[in-house]
A = this chain, B = another copy of it.
């Protein structure tokens, strides 16, 4: 490919903030920086984009290489490039991605690029390298607002889940109290959940039905103008 004949010395990176939900708490994927000035600092998964690679390919490669995961939801979040000194290595802009991981997949196989990778509860995130704490903040705001108008909560739960898990997820992430009856009524009114024949009896008390989210049906309805929307008192 012909090279652009301008003098520009800006590098392009991608970073992913991956949310996972386990033990009734929202977690963020962190990796340990293996090289460079911030070696051994905890940061978000990410790295430089290769010349022949799309941004989308780059972020998926980094997730694979640094944590061995394949996320269930991925969208571009924001491009951070207004702090010229955000990266000590020089001028780097970062295209940040917002990702969710199904909680049945919360295992890691860290190897290639990062010395280590781990899930950290959102309220226990240490001071990270670069501007990654700020990126997490932006991503968390996005998560909260999306939860109310897009059915992304299901991307954080196992394929089959309890109603109480869903309810807990909303309570926890939005930090609000929810009326159990109204919440259930509202969610069920969409007709997007399917009861399974299975029950969970892992907890004490009355066994609970397991539900599945019908994503195909949602996609179909969404094309026809349906909007998933949940409000709270």
Residues of chain A having any CB pair with chain B under 8 Å: 1-6, 8-12, 48-56, 76, 78-79, 81-84, 87-93, 95
Could you say which of B5, B51, B55 contacts A8, with CB atoms under 8 Å apart?
Answer: B51
Write 14 A-B pairs (CB below 8 A) sorted by A numbering. Answer: A3-B90, A4-B11, A4-B87, A4-B90, A8-B50, A9-B51, A12-B12, A49-B81, A54-B82, A54-B84, A55-B81, A76-B78, A76-B79, A79-B79
Please determine whether A93 and B55 come into contact, CB atoms closer than 8 angstroms. Answer: yes
CA distance A5 to B93 in the complex (A): 15
- Which residues from B are CB-within-8-Å of A6? 11, 48
The 6 closest A-B pairs by CB, nearest first: A55-B81, A4-B90, A54-B82, A79-B79, A4-B89, A4-B11
Could you say which of B5, B8, B55, B88 contacts A49, with CB atoms under 8 Å apart?
Answer: B8
If the complex has contacts A54-B82, A81-B55, are A89 and B2 also in contact, measured as CB distance less than 8 A? yes
Could you say which of B4, B48, B52, B82 contacts A84, with CB atoms under 8 Å apart?
Answer: B52
Please determine whether A48 and B79 come into contact, CB atoms closer than 8 angstroms. Answer: no
CA distance A96 to B127 in the complex (A): 30
Please determine whether A2 and B90 come into contact, CB atoms closer than 8 angstroms. Answer: yes
Please determine whether B93 and A81 come into contact, CB atoms closer than 8 angstroms. Answer: no
Please determine whether B79 and A1 come into contact, CB atoms closer than 8 angstroms. Answer: no
- Which residues from B are CB-within-8-Å of A92? 4
CA distance A71 to B89 in the complex (A): 33
Please determine whether A1 and B90 come into contact, CB atoms closer than 8 angstroms. Answer: yes
If the complex has contacts A48-B6, A79-B76, A79-B79, are A91 and B11 also in contact, measured as CB distance less than 8 A? no
Q: Give the residue name and chain of the B residue nearest to A56 (CB).
A: B82
Please determine whether B55 and A79 come into contact, CB atoms closer than 8 angstroms. Answer: yes
If the complex has contacts A76-B79, A82-B56, are A91 and B9 also in contact, measured as CB distance less than 8 A? no
CA distance A232 to B54 in the complex (A): 39
* Distance between A80 CB and nearest chain B CB, rounded to angstroms: 9
* Distance between A78 CB and nearest chain B CB, rounded to angstroms: 6
Please determine whether B12 and A49 come into contact, CB atoms closer than 8 angstroms. Answer: no
- Which residues from B are CB-within-8-Å of A55? 79, 81-82, 93
Q: Give the residue name and chain of the B residue nearest to A85 (CB).
A: B1
* Distance between A51 CB and nearest chain B CB, rounded to angstroms: 5
* Distance between A176 CB and nearest chain B CB, rounded to angstroms: 12
